[in-house]
Structure 1
Amino acid sequence: MDGPSFQPSGNETVNREGLAAETGRQNDKRKETLLEDTDIVKSAAPDMEPSSCQLAQVKTEQKASPKAQDAVKTPNLHVCGKCRYRAPSRSKLAVHMRKHTGERPYKCYQCDYSAARKGTLDQHMAKHAGEKPYKCDKCDYSAAIKRTLDQHMVRRHTGDKPYMCGQCGFRTADWSNLSVHMRTHTGEKPYKCDQCDYSAAQKGNLDQHMAKHTGDKPYTCGECGYRTAYRSNLTQHMRKHTGQKLYKCDQCDYSAVCKSSLDRHMAKHIGDKPYMCGECGYRTNYKSNLTVHMRKHTGERPYKCDQCDYSAAKKVKLDQHMTEHTGGKPYMCGKCGYRTAYSISLSEHMRKHTGERPYKCNQCDYSSAQKCNLDRHMAQHTGDKPYMCVECEYRTADRSNLSAHMKRKHTDENPYN
């Protein structure tokens, strides 16, 4: 016997139709999303079709719950059409594309710096604030950026250089350094000057070059007014005020603000002076010193004043001369008000307040606040007299003695009048 037949009421019929319609809309939405993701792949890399496995993965993730989606990593379906970089999301692909477009939407409100990522801008802002939250647990070094601390740890304490060039054996602690190094093999110079034919393998070199065109010196010391076109120069300069000396000699107590100063100091321990002047016998540890010295014999003065006929063999001499036109003495001692036109003069003056005598003799207890005094002292130990008169056989250990000799004996000028 058949049971009683069921006749749905009007309300139940409406509910069923509504449920079916809602299910259809959800299926259509999933299809649209799937097609949209497929289009992203095609638009980013038109010649690369997504595989059936990738599309199946998208379907699976769309059906999964949010927790399941977190548990399963999204495949890198978003592909850059320029370099084939693959990104897990559209937003990450958009950030990547800034490498090709040059877009840097995050701007510093205190200088001209801009960045492609907000995190990079945040790190930059820490330099203005003076904040250095990342501390080295083996020395007093601190950094505003964790990556900088990591590099410091490798370079100064572990000595590890895990990145190696396969063509010449060059090794480095920093992957980015290896990338730049490889350009020495490829000859690539991607950074171009828009005002001349100059190009560079590193952006920092291009930035320094551009300062020649603009004459701009945007980096200013708040302590003494020192200005420079290069951020690295300002960072190094600030150590004169803070007293921070990161570069330490492993054979004595000497320490220095910059690595080049330490390198010059280390030559005193080695005692080697391989560069010699063929005209007068002058010897030096550095090729650059010999180049400057030779100008005394050749008369070359490559540094020209653009306001008068003055020229100099050394850039520092031209810088000193320029203050005669400007009348400026931007470098001031914060303790006694002493002012000078030269940063090196301020550095030497500050030692009167600190008592610092960084130039130490490696054969006795003598030390000096000025390098020239140490050089004169060392001649007592070595007997060396590198400064020789080109007119006669006079030799001396002191450059100033040679200058006085030349004026007294070979010119009509008397230096003691």
Structure 2
Amino acid sequence: MNGGLTGVERHEGEEAASRRNYSRRNYRRTIVKMEFEEEPCRIKDEETEEHTDPMEVNEDKQQKPHHFTNEDAVVSKTEKSFTQKQAGKTAVKGSLTCCQCGKSFTTKGNLTVHMRIHTGEKPFTCSQCGKSFTFKSHLNRHMRIHTGEKPFTCSQCGKSFTSKVQLKSHMRIHTGEKPFTCSQCGKSFSHKSSLDEHLRCHSGVKSFSCDQCEKTFVAASNLRRHLKVHTGVKPHFCSFCGKSFLTQQTLKEHESIHTGVKPYMCFDCEKTFSRSSALKTHQIIHTGEKPYKCSQCGNSFQQKGNLNTHMRIHTGEKPFTCSQCGKSFSHKSHLDNHLRRHSGVKSFSCDQCEKTFFAEPDLRSHLQVHTDVKPHVCSFCGKSFSRLKSLKVHESIHTGVKPYMCLDCEKTFIKFSDLKQHQRIHTGEKPYKCSHCGKSFTQAGHLKIHERNHTGEKPYKCSQCGNSFPRKGHLNRHMRIHTGEKPYKCSHCGKSFSQAGHLKDHEKVHTGEKNVHMLSV
């Protein structure tokens, strides 16, 4: 029968088949287009659902009934293939999202571990001390404290560490790297904790207080270190000499004296040091930096400790007290020197004149008498001095600066020692007592001169005739006999004298005071 179709019938049949093919093609394009339009919404839903598994999504889609004929089987396969491909892509991008912070993860295990941050769960517990941890890696690192294992070793100095982070932080000592910079003054630090502590210096806040002496600190670590002063406990012992120390760090620095190890090297001159702080102090020699400035007098210092010590001059603070007589000092070294006076031991001897001293600084100062070297020259008048301190005191005569003020009468002084001596006028204090007769003096020098009356000591000897004197002034006056110098001149007649007392007696002739005295006799 088919063969008997007319040309018209064949033409109509071809048109109907063409329409059916067109419908199938058009429907297929429509389905694919719908998939592209709806897919972003589906992906978005997957990202907001926490535990959606892409395979479960595919299974759900496969279970949905289709209402297509056999002719549309190709369309169903296309839809299934496209959906599986898109599900695979979203899984790679991270379809597991934290409901607390929105962070996405590629695996359910990673999300589970992450959630412990929010829940506070710590499933890994140390069998030695019972401390718990969120992550197993943290427990493994903690266990090295108990085992003593230090697998990370510095290639520069051989020091070992329990964690890679500690080694990385330590390496900055050798490299000089300081990645943490203060936004206020530009100073850089190798550790973030050091920067945080430094920032508190700008704020001036000292949040950590000692409950025993009310002293305050910028950092908690400083307070913990200070508290050991009150306990007196020194738990860290040197394995070489048995000396004990408050902190582990101090012990390590001490032991380097025995071992000779100096792991900290200056890159400018290659000099090595046993302490990191000593290296930092040394490096300022090359830079000339004096970052710590006194707000009272403008003096600058290379180290913060020196500034703190200097500030006691202005505040009058004397934190170091003698346990034997109660006298207080602004410097520990001054207390140490003072204690030697109680013991009577003069441990420091001059090898040129056999004179002995209580303190090493006194000996160093004395030795310059023998060398006669005066390297410190005044920039105003050219006068030379054996000590820098003496030069600074002298230059204040030219500048007029008197930085030391008495709080009782507001009188100012060039030298701190002059201020101390002056303050005894207000207090009436005479702290220097003669051990022979009990007489007291306001100055140590006056006591020293007085005691020569008891001992017969005459340390000042004339180079011309060999006569000796208990005071330097007496020797100077005697030397005028040999030199013929007569510095004291009468303002009435011009006559000169070698001693001030002789001039005073002579002037009575002009004033008539001597005749009046004779008549009264």
Match of 2:301 among 225, 228, 239: 228
Taking the aligned partners of 1:61 and 1:347, their CA distance within structure 2 comes to 71
Taking the aligned partners of 1:215 and 1:349, their CA distance within structure 2 comes to 36
Taking the aligned partners of 1:97 and 1:338, their CA distance within structure 2 comes to 53
**Secondary structure at the residue paired with 2:307?**
helix
Match of 1:191 among 261, 265, 270: 265
Taking the aligned partners of 1:210 and 1:225, their CA distance within structure 2 comes to 23
Q: In the alignment, what sits opposite 1:314? A: 387
172-181 vs 104-113, which moves further: 104-113
Equivalent residue letter for 2:366: H
Q: In the alignment, what sits opposite 1:292? A: 365
Taking the aligned partners of 2:350 and 2:396, their CA distance within structure 1 comes to 32
Q: Does 1:327 align with 2:399?
A: yes
Q: In the alignment, what sits opposite 2:226? A: 152
Q: Does 1:361 align with 2:433?
A: yes
Q: 1:254·1:358 contact (CA, 8 Å) conserved in 2?
A: no
Q: In the alignment, what sits opposite 1:8? A: 64
Taking the aligned partners of 2:478 and 2:267, their CA distance within structure 1 comes to 47
Q: In the alignment, what sits opposite 2:49? A: none
- Kindly provide the CA deviation profile for residues 320-376 of structure 1, in whole angstroms up to 9, marking residues without a partner as x: 34446x6251615275664554454455556666x3848453859876654434544
Match of 1:385 among 428, 437, 457: 457
Deviation at 1:218, TM superposition (A): 3.4
Residues matched between the structures, number: 375
Deviation at 1:240, TM superposition (A): 2.5
**Secondary structure at the residue paired with 1:250?**
coil
**Secondary structure at the residue paired with 2:242?**
coil
- Kindly provide the CA deviation profile for residues 239-287 of structure 1, in whole angstroms up to 9, marking residues without a partner as x: 2332322211111111111111101110121011233446655331134
Taking the aligned partners of 1:158 and 1:28, their CA distance within structure 2 comes to 58
Unaligned runs of 5+ in 2: 1-61, 68-78, 98-106, 125-132, 142-150, 486-497, 504-521
Structure 1 residues 82, 273: CA separation in 2 closer, same or farther (over 3 Å shift)? Answer: closer
Structure 1 residues 190, 317: CA separation in 2 closer, same or farther (over 3 Å shift)? Answer: same
Match of 2:255 among 182, 195, 205: 182
301-310 vs 247-256, which moves further: 301-310
Q: In the alignment, what sits opposite 1:48? A: none
Structure 1 residues 128, 176: CA separation in 2 closer, same or farther (over 3 Å shift)? Answer: same
Q: Does 1:238 align with 2:311?
A: yes
Taking the aligned partners of 1:279 and 1:224, their CA distance within structure 2 comes to 40
Match of 1:166 among 232, 239, 264: 239
Structure 1 residues 279, 395: CA separation in 2 closer, same or farther (over 3 Å shift)? Answer: farther
Q: Does 1:305 align with 2:377?
A: yes
Q: Does 1:269 align with 2:338?
A: no
**Secondary structure at the residue paired with 1:161?**
coil
Taking the aligned partners of 2:274 and 2:163, their CA distance within structure 1 comes to 27
Among all aligned residue pairs of Structure 1 and Structure 2, give the percentage whose two residues are the same amino acid. Answer: 26
Deviation at 1:26, TM superposition (A): 8.2
Equivalent residue letter for 2:345: D
Decide which structure has the larger Cα Rg and report it: 2
Structure with greater contact order relative to length (CA < 8 Å, sep ≥ 6): 1
Deviation at 1:139, TM superposition (A): 3.0
- Kindly provide the CA deviation profile for residues 70-126 of structure 1, in whole angstroms up to 9, marking residues without a partner as x: 4433315899685674549x8x88766645543334334565643234432332344
Structure 1 residues 248, 175: CA separation in 2 closer, same or farther (over 3 Å shift)? Answer: same
Q: 2:174·2:264 contact (CA, 8 Å) conserved in 1?
A: no
Structure 1 residues 384, 279: CA separation in 2 closer, same or farther (over 3 Å shift)? Answer: farther
77-86 vs 63-72, which moves further: 77-86
Taking the aligned partners of 1:113 and 1:386, their CA distance within structure 2 comes to 57
Q: In the alignment, what sits opposite 1:51? A: none
TM-score normalised by structure 1 residue count: 0.69
171-180 vs 77-86, which moves further: 77-86
Q: 1:274·1:283 contact (CA, 8 Å) conserved in 2?
A: yes
93-102 vs 178-187, which moves further: 93-102
Moved beyond 6 Å, runs of 4+: 13-16, 26-30, 58-61, 77-81, 364-367
Structure 1 residues 10, 99: CA separation in 2 closer, same or farther (over 3 Å shift)? Answer: farther
Q: Does 1:106 align with 2:180?
A: yes
Unaligned runs of 5+ in 1: 1-5, 31-57
TM-score normalised by structure 2 residue count: 0.57
Taking the aligned partners of 1:403 and 1:142, their CA distance within structure 2 comes to 53
Structure 1 residues 225, 96: CA separation in 2 closer, same or farther (over 3 Å shift)? Answer: closer
Equivalent residue letter for 1:8: K
Q: In the alignment, what sits opposite 1:47? A: none
Structure 1 residues 145, 319: CA separation in 2 closer, same or farther (over 3 Å shift)? Answer: same
Q: In the alignment, what sits opposite 1:256? A: 329
Deviation at 1:186, TM superposition (A): 3.0
